[in-house]
Every structure is written in structure tokens, then in C-alpha cells.
């Protein structure tokens, strides 16, 4: 099968590769770019373990072809930290024990990041609705909600300090 050249920014870095037109984005990220943070879970779009941010939207990368991402900006869990400093959502998951086995965590972190970009002051109900497309089979979600609340508070403090 003929390959197609794709170009996109992944975690702020321009990447170009020839890919098969049928290659899923999750496989491109994991196998071609060696970004293994996003997990392959259900491969049907139900679990959210493969969630990444594409052009400002949460997308389950097992439902997206790599060629569809031509000229896109993609953020994976590896791109959340800045020069070794955890992003507020990562810190929140750490401080509030928002993970157990960790399988859902990368997708949950990226979804929480986008949720807080869309709604910097979410209520508990809005957080639960916002992460409802990402399944966790271990935690019962309470500490995940606390982690997102922690991150929201920290981001608000940071914004206030800058202002």
C-alpha cells in the first residue's frame, strides 16, 4: 500500500513521516514516535485510555487516522509537563491519589487538561460530566474528581499571581 506523507506538531515539535493511510493515530504515536503514554485500551473509543488533545479538542486516538491529523497540533500526556515541572493536573493526580493501576491515567490527564481549558472553574458535577468519556475501573472516580479540583485551584492561583 502506498504511504502518505503527514506533517503535524506533536507536543510542540514538528514531525513528518510517511504513513499508511489506514494507520490509527494511537499506533503512530506509540510505534512511530515512541510516545507510549497514551494506552491502547478498548480500540472502540469507549474507554478513553488513548485520549490526546488535537487542535484544542479531546480525541480518542484509536478512532482517528493519522492522515486526518495533517497540519494538526497534538498534545499527548508526555507534553503536559514543562521542562520537568509537572502540569497542575499531573500534580493533582499525584497529590490527591487520583490513580490506582494507572492504565486510564494518561487519557484522564489529557482530558482533565482540556476540561480545565474549557471550564477553569468546574463544579464537581461538571468535572464528572467532563471526564465521563474516560473509564476508570479501579478508583471509583472520587480521587480523580479531587485531583481535577486541585488542578483547577492551582491554575487559578497561578493565573492570579501572574495578573
pLDDT band at 162 (very low <50, low <70, confident <90, very high): confident
pTM for the full predicted model: 0.95
Residues in Cβ contact with 146 at an 8 Å cutoff, skipping those fewer than 6 apart: 92, 96, 98
100-131 b/e (C-beta count within 10 Å ≥ 16 → b): eeebbbbbbbbbbbbbbeeeeebeeeebeebb
Residues in Cβ contact with 22 at an 8 Å cutoff, skipping those fewer than 6 apart: 1, 65
Domains (ranges, CATH) in the chain? 4-77 (3.10.20.30), 88-162 (1.10.150.120)
Q: Which residue has the cell 493536573?
A: 89
Residues 64-79 pLDDT 10s: 999 999 999 999 999 9
Amino acid at each position: 500500500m502506498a504511504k502518505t506523507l503527514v506533517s503535524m506538531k506533536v507536543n510542540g515539535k514538528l514531525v513528518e513521516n510517511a504513513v499508511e493511510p489506514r494507520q490509527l493515530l494511537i499506533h503512530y504515536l506509540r510505534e512511530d514516535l515512541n510516545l507510549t503514554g497514551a494506552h491502547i485500551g478498548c480500540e472502540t473509543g469507549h474507554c478513553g485510555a488513548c485520549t490526546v488533545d488535537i487542535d484544542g479538542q479531546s480525541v480518542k486516538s484509536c478512532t482517528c487516522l493519522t492522515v486526518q491529523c495533517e497540519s494538526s497540533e497534538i498534545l499527548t500526556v508526555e507534553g503536559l509537563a514543562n521542562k520537568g515541572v509537572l502540569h497542575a493536573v499531573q500534580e493533582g493526580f499525584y497529590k490527591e491519589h487520583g490513580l490506582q493501576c494507572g492504565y486510564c491515567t494518561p487519557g484522564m490527564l489529557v482530558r482533565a487538561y482540556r476540561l480545565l481549558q474549557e471550564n477553569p472553574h468546574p463544579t464537581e458535577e461538571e468535572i464528572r460530566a467532563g471526564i465521563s468519556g474516560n473509564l476508570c475501573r479501579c478508583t471509583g472516580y472520587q480521587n480523580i474528581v479531587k485531583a481535577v479540583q486541585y488542578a483547577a485551584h492551582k491554575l487559578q492561583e497561578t493565573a492570579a499571581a501572574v495578573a
